Structure 1
């Protein structure tokens, strides 16, 4: 019997020793890092931020496309009710002028009649009634009055803001996965405590049954042990239920199959002490700062609507025969557009964007104050967690020594079975409390890293 107790004690010490070695070797289990990676790829919130950042990239391309020529090919057919011609007096004048020119060229006297054998050219219509046109137009903005340039800069800062918001969402998701994974490890730790307690109770049941046969104990002692075994079975059921629930949560967060999640055996261990590091700027602050810059450039974009714009325009007709006598075949021109007064719309829009920028600055100040407080709180929580871990380890030593003493007294009829069971319960609680302190210590550590802006490098 003493050999069995020695084996169980060695098992507990080995578990604690393995945990310490693991903490020195790594901060996160490889399977936990893999779960975080899968969770980041699955997260709808993270994907939405990425898609919104892609939209900002498209906005940048739209701003750049302002300076690219816009080429349009046109085609049309029109039928008028009749040809458009000169009035009769104008036609007579044009015919008379044509005759004079011909007589002059042929050397015929001015007052001589016009020869009938010389044909005259018919007067062309101003516009035929059947009009078929095909042309190309070119519109090219040469200077947008800085509107396109400011819009491009605003979109770049908007993209950066969305990327930082996505990283902040990734940190929140990583915290959820780490916490759920550690809860599952805590449940598995409770299973180890249950297994250890079961071995203790089986040992006590064997001893009590032997004592009853020898008249050294009553059946009441056996009933008390059986009650304790039933209570242990209830804890076993609670373990299975908690395991199922946590696996469901992990499956939802990461998309990993339930079968694979059921096979992992996470363990709790005391993480390595957090190295004191400088406070890094949080992703949330960076996102707000980029959004502030975006609104500032948006305000400049609205204000620059009063700067003159310069554009080039060109036109070319493919079907020359369908043009009227007054239409050119092609033309090229440069124009200037200067908005002198638009009813104060641009000024008011710029004013609105400036107010939005000041709102972001107020949010930045508020967030920095909250982060500063959260760092202090997280540091205090972490120090408390370290202290509680040390206390829990001493409680295990005390509970183990107490149980060994009471068990020895019971075998010498110096202690009751109730005292043995109470000592066993205290040992169970002490072992499980140590695992709980590991859980809270890791929780406090990740919260401290998150508060300081160092969490991303922890799980990447």
Structure 2
């Protein structure tokens, strides 16, 4: 009995010590905080969101890279069936012109015959049949018609939406770990109650044995104790099963070793907070709003495809020998590309993105309604848990006084063993109900803080 009273005193003192605390994070067990951090690092869903955010960052870099010059190296070899040359009349004309220039340079009269022995340059081919090319091209977009800038803004909002989704996923993981950790604490609380019952039954079995030996009791009393022990063994088996299952769940959530989880000794203590009047926007809502903004800029990006684009183009040939007489060695030019009509594709794609934004708006409205309802539900649950705790404390006080009275009567042969066992069972149930009430209170307050967007851990 003294063990029960000291245990109750510890619970009361713990409750009083928590009154001054205002943050759930400050009230969480350091071991639980460590499990939450491990769970967040282990979570596959969170890691997937991180990868999605990295992809959005790459999309931003791709949008920026539109304005960087693109350089391309080209190399080729081509063999034609024959050289490309001037026709015979043109060649004769070019040879004749060359002769006139030579006679003029030598001071020979126009009508005089061309002197023998003076070599003439052959007429070059327009293009040799063996063509070896090596060149570099440059494309540099100067103005994308706002398509790249809108794509950049859309990617930024998409990244922000993904980051908020990751934060919302972390909240869900933290809630799962806290709940299963508390369930494990509740199971251990039941074990402490079962241990108290086991100690009492062992003590009563010893006294019953002495009483039978002295003719002060019958074997029926011993059978009742044995039956109580069998019932207790069934409860202990349930305890082991529940403990094993919860340790497996925590192992899956946090990747913590089962050997370390078995060594845990969680305690249930009520949360207290003075921040229930405050509220912040939930991460889920922020994610939807950012996604809505992303679709708006995506719609603008689709529309901007019909705006003229301005770019610079350049070309440079590294091998000059195989160029034709008409090919330049290099050139630079500025061009405009204006897609006047693309079959309404840009307009339809823009409209499609706008509809996607309207879908996000509907989801935001629905989420606001569901969050408002969850806040009311959590507030009612929290109030009910506080009221239930006060009732159970009165039950424990009554059960403790009743047990003390019946135990004294039993020792004075004024009450039966069944009366003592019933009183002890009522006290055990009251103690466990208090732990259950603390569990419900922690569930209600974490749900309320999560609904209000102020769950910190």
TM-score, normalized by length of structure 1? 0.96
The structural deviation recorded for 1:366 is: 0.8
The residue aligned with 2:320 is 320
Relative to structure 1, the CA distance from residue 218 to residue 274 in structure 2 (aligned partners, 3 Å threshold; closer, same or farther) is farther
Please state how far the C-alpha of 1:279 moved relative to its aligned partner: 1.7
2:84–2:129 CA contact under 8 A, matched in 1: yes
Deviation string 1:150-194 (CA, Å, 9 cap, x unpaired) is 000000000000000010010011110000000000011011101
Counterpart in 2 of 1:9? Answer: 4
Secondary structure of 1:281's aligned partner:
coil
Contact 1:400 1:427 in 2 (8 A): yes
Aligned residues: 452
Q: Shift in Å at residue 22 of structure 1?
A: 6.2
CA distance in 2, matches of 1:273, 1:60: 42
* 8 Å contact kept, 1:300–1:350: yes
Contact 1:77 1:133 in 2 (8 A): yes
Question: Whole-Å Cα distance in 1 between the matches of residues 215 and 12 of structure 2?
Answer: 42
Shift of 1:274: 4.8
Q: Which runs of 4+ in 1 moved over 4 A?
A: none
SS at match of 1:115: coil
How far apart are residue 197 of structure 1 and its match? 1.1
1:31-77 Cα shifts (integer Å, max 9, x gaps) = 10010000001100000011001000000000000000000011111
SS of 1:67's equivalent?
Answer: coil
Match of 1:240 in 2: 240
For 1:44 and 1:275, locate their aligned partners in 2 and report how far apart those are by CA, in whole Å: 32
Tell whether the 8 Å contact from 1:208 to 1:221 is kept in structure 2 after alignment.
yes
Distance 1:164 1:191, change over 3 A: same
Partner of 2:185: 185
Task: Give the drift of 1:148.
Answer: 0.2
Counterpart of 2:41 in structure 1 is 41
- Mapping of 1:125-204 within 5 angstroms? 125-204=125-204
Shift of 1:133: 0.6
Q: Which residue of 1 aligns with 2:259?
A: 259
- Structure-1 residue corresponding to 2:340: 340
Structure 1 unmatched runs, 5+:
none
Distance in 1, matches of 2:14 and 2:217, equals: 41
**Residue matched to 2:357:** 357
Q: Distance in 2 between matches of 1:337 and 1:184?
A: 68
Give the C-alpha shift of residue 206 in structure 1: 2.9
Residue of structure 1 in register with 2:278 after alignment: 278
1:202-251, CA deviations, whole angstroms, 9 ceiling, x for partnerless residues?
23223333333343322211211111112112211211111111100000
Distance 1:18 1:119 in 2: 119
More displaced 10-residue stretch of structure 1: 401-410 or 445-454: 401-410
Q: CA separation in 2, counterparts of 1:8 and 1:143?
A: 81
Residue by residue over 1:260-311, the C-alpha shift from the partner in whole angstroms, topping out at 9 and shown as x without a partner, is: 1111110111222453232210000000000000000000000111111000
SS in 1 for 2:89: helix
Q: What's the secondary structure of 1:72's corresponding residue? A: strand
Residue 385 of structure 2: aligned partner: 385
Q: Is 1:185–1:265's contact at 8 Å kept on the other side of the alignment?
A: yes
Deviation at 1:394, TM superposition (A): 1.3
Q: Residue in 1 aligned with 2:91?
A: 91
In 2: Cα distance, 1:401 partner to 1:200 partner: 17
Q: Is residue 165–residue 284 contact of structure 2 (8 Å, CA) maintained in 1?
A: yes
Tell me how far apart the structure 2 counterparts of residues 334 and 100 of structure 1 sit (CA, whole Å).
43
On the 8 A contact 1:274/1:445 being kept in 2, the answer is no
User: What's the CA shift for 1:200?
Assistant: 1.9
- 2: CA distance, partners of 1:329 / 1:249: 72
Distance verdict in 2 for CA 1:63–1:279, change over 3 Å: same
Provide the alpha-carbon RMSD of the alignment: 1.3
Match of 1:268 in 2: 268
Aligned counterparts of 1:274 and 1:433: Cα–Cα separation in 2: 25
What is aligned with 1:119? 119
After superposition, give the CA deviation of every residue in 1:310-349 in whole Å (9 maximum; x if it has no partner): 0000001011111000000000000001111111110000
For 2:63, the equivalent position in structure 1 comes to 63
Between 1:234-243 and 1:61-70, the stretch displaced more is 234-243
**Counterpart contact for 1:139–1:311, Cα < 8 Å:** yes
Does structure 1 retain, via aligned residues, the 8 Å contact 2:288–2:364? yes
Report the Cα distance in structure 2 between the residues aligned to 1:380 and 1:257, rounded to whole angstroms. 38
> How far did residue 17 of structure 1 move?
3.8
Q: Which runs of 5+ in 2 are unaligned?
A: none
